[in-house]
Amino acid sequence: MKIAILPGDGIGPEVMREALKVLEVVEKKTGKTFEKIFGHIGGEAIDKFGDPLPEETRRICMEADAIFLGSVGGPKWDNLPPEKRPEIGGLLALRKMLNLYANIRPIKVYRSLVSISPLKERVIEAGVDLVTVRELSYGVYYGKPRGIDEEKGFDTMIYDRKTVEYIARTAFEIARNRRKKVTSVDKANVLYSSMLWRKVVSEVAEDYPDVELSHMYVDNAAMQLILRPSQFDVILTTNMFGDILSDESAALPGSLGLLPSASFGDKNLYEPAGGSAPDIAGKNVANPIAQILSLAMMLEFSFGMVDEARKIEKAVEMVIEEGYRTRDIAEDPEKAVSTSQMGDLICKKLEEIW
Ligand code: IPM
Ligand code: MN
């Protein structure tokens, strides 16, 4: 069991450290050990090797059973040519290299977080338990032609049948193990790529008569997520709409620091949905929970360690229930715990409940 570990930039290394502590507890309790190979990606890789996705990192990833990533990017590298930036040259290039076709971003609002949610209690209490299934290797993030000069900047949004079919099947399969509802989000009243998307998703749905499919325009979906989030089970959508809606879904419990993700492809990659948060990097205040829950997803989906994953999720939930908060979710910032304290609390809880 070999894991490529890419902490990256900003808060990446700090939250990664806490997730690795949790992994250590899992190793101790199960007697299983993981081989951990560290690699460089993003801005820090540019500083060291002049390349946001160095050859060595590609090799480490190809040799690993799973890839565990922190985050990339920061203002320091924003003025580089687009293809050399941490986001495009690092993360997006890695996603493409691994053919990561589906990005799974689950969000649940714990009872004790209801008071932190920016929404009214009655909206949240109706139950928020949804997962965004975001297409991750095509769409406007990758379509050609794209470019920029002094006068114009342009991108191309393309979807082909095969890509849509694949991601749609993934969403329907996931829905089968949940509440059996798929909401496909597009902009089929305007965009041609969305017209094809809607058509293909409807065709795939015929193979899943037990799953209920509805279509929603993205502008409406953005509104419905806030008005009545309990109506969603699986949100199936494109690369860019999924990027936007998943951040919005993280606002339901109150912080992007709670949103993990798993990406499926030739090799699976696990990363928190939030960014590198350069403004709070290095201060030991970031929320490590998204990274820790991404670890749980890795254990479940790449190593079949379902019980262990559930235990980690349980430990996280219990620590939150007990009232511990990092700054992003604290009602009283004076009482917030640090990144490393939160990691320690979760490790301790995990040992207790094992
Ligand atoms: C995400 C991030 C990335 C994306 C950025 C950092 C390129 O926002 O994983 O959601 O847009 O996909
Ligand atoms: Mn994003």
- Over the stretch 76-109, which tens digit does the pLDDT of each residue have? 999 999 999 999 999 999 999 999 999 999 999 9
Our mutation pick for probing the ligand 1 site, out of 100, 103, 238, 243, counting the most ligand atoms within 8 A of Cβ, is 243
| Token pair for 309 | 């994953």
Dihedral sign of CA atoms 17, 108, 310, 64 in order: negative
Cβ of residue 278 lying under 6 Å from some atom of ligand 1: no
Q: Is the pLDDT of residue 113 over 90?
A: no
What residues contact residue 170 under an 8 Å CB cut-off, 6+ apart? 101, 102, 133, 264
pLDDT of residue 144: 97
Residue 137 confidence class, pLDDT cut points 50, 70, 90:
very high
Q: Give the lowest-confidence range in 113-117, 175-179, 303-307.
A: 113-117
Determine which residue's CA is closest to atom 4 belonging to ligand 1.
243
- Over the stretch 322-352, which tens digit does the pLDDT of each residue have? 999 999 999 888 999 999 999 999 999 999 9
Cβ of residue 73 lying under 6 Å from some atom of ligand 1: yes
Determine which residue's CA is closest to atom 9 belonging to ligand 1.
273
Mean per-residue pLDDT of the chain: 97
The model's pTM is 0.95
pLDDT of residue 58: 98
Active site residues: 141, 187, 219, 243, 247
Please spell the DSSP secondary structure of 189-248, one letter per residue.
TT-HHHHHHHHHHHHHHTT-TTSEEEEEEHHHHHHHHHH-GGG-SEEEE-HHHHHHHHHH
Cis peptide before 54 (omega within 30 of 0): no
Closest CA to 15 of 286, 313, 293: 286
- Over the stretch 184-227, which tens digit does the pLDDT of each residue have? 999 999 999 999 999 999 999 999 999 999 999 999 999 999 99
| Token pair for 149 | 């000069």
| Token pair for 313 | 């999720």
| Token pair for 190 | 């305007």
pLDDT of residue 126: 86
